[in-house]
Amino acid sequence: MNARAAASPRGLRLSVLDQAPISEGQTGADALRNSVDLARLCDSLGYERYWVAEHHGTPMLACASPEALIGPIAATTRNIRVGSGGIMLPHYSPLKVAETFSMFAGLFPQRIDLGLGRAPGSDPKTAYALQRDRRQAAPDDFPEQLVELLAYLEDRLPPDHPFRDLAKLPGLPHAPEPYLLGSSPQSGVWAAQLGLPYVFADFINPAGAAIAERYRREYAAAEARDQARVIVAVWALAAETDAEAERLSASHRMAMHLFLSGTLIPVPPVETALKFLAERPQPPAGLGRSRRRIAGSPENVRRQIEAVAAEYGAEEVMIVTIAHEHAARRRSYELIAEAFGLDSDSAARMAAKPSR
């Protein structure tokens, strides 16, 4: 762990999960440049890590290839850890993922994380389009993929394994730090069995505290080599006042309302979203589980984030924020950093101001 492990005086580490949102009126290229800009800002503010997500086939998010963003972000930041949140492993060869992230680790030692997930990050049609071999459906062999990938990273392939000579990865002696992502009980079971840190997506399933506790129990029973580590990922947006934060969050609320109905759109402007929500105050009945959303003044957001961390027994919270205006998203991360007393670098912060 780098020097930022104790950045917050309250003992809670804060990190960022970036989904590269595409706002109405902007392009995917704009969203990608915004991601690099936000990463520079969060580096200067003292956040622990900056992860980029993987989603496919959506006009709302530009994060189709985390590895395409990790290199540029790591190259333009100084201290923050950079990684995937996550690589959706069923789409890929374990060897290819191991080689790619080994290269990142060689280029940026002690700064690369490899967050891994099972979900497709897309609808079934898009997942099928991503397959290299479309003669039949891809097998559901995620546990085997995960074990093979870890064996490459840790040089643990048996001497008689047919791929044994492929474990000499290009970034050695450096290696990424693997994490397992999830929002259901099974992911916690695998993380415990394999001795991996566990990142739970509360912004998808806010009922994960019991899953995190089971992970800790089974991790201890497995006598894993390190201590169990839980990171909880939450959706949060801070503004100067509760009312302003609630207003800015309307863009995300509208987009999620339509998403639950099967309609994908770019992140709408606030005024468009407020009008839409006034006419349709609730998502369609029966579509999806309720989702936790934290929005408010900095102190209100801090209290809620601390409450979620306590609920999960998590030592780190990863924050995902969607807003129509990039400036509002930047300001939210600034206000949260200030509320938690992160160790910001004022000179770097000035250098990280938007270039457009």
CB 14 within 8 A of CB 344: no
Nearest to 327 by CA among 348, 302, 356: 356
DSSP 3-state of 105: helix
Return the percentage of the chain with pLDDT > 70, whole number. 85
Q: Looking at residue 227, what DSSP letter applies?
A: -
Amino acid at 202: D
The structural domains of the chain, ordered by start, are 3-241+293-351 (3.20.20.30)
DSSP-assigned letters across all residues of 110-179: T-EEEEEE-S-SS-HHHHHHH-S--SSPPP--HHHHHHHHHHHHHT---TT-TTGGGG--TTTT--PEEE
**Residue 352: which pLDDT band, with cuts at 50, 70 and 90?**
very low
Taking the model in full, what pTM does it have? 0.89
**Residue 289: which pLDDT band, with cuts at 50, 70 and 90?**
low
Nearest to 95 by CA among 35, 44, 161: 161
Rounded distance between C-alpha atoms, residue 334 and residue 239, angstroms? 10
Q: Is the pLDDT of residue 294 over 90?
A: yes
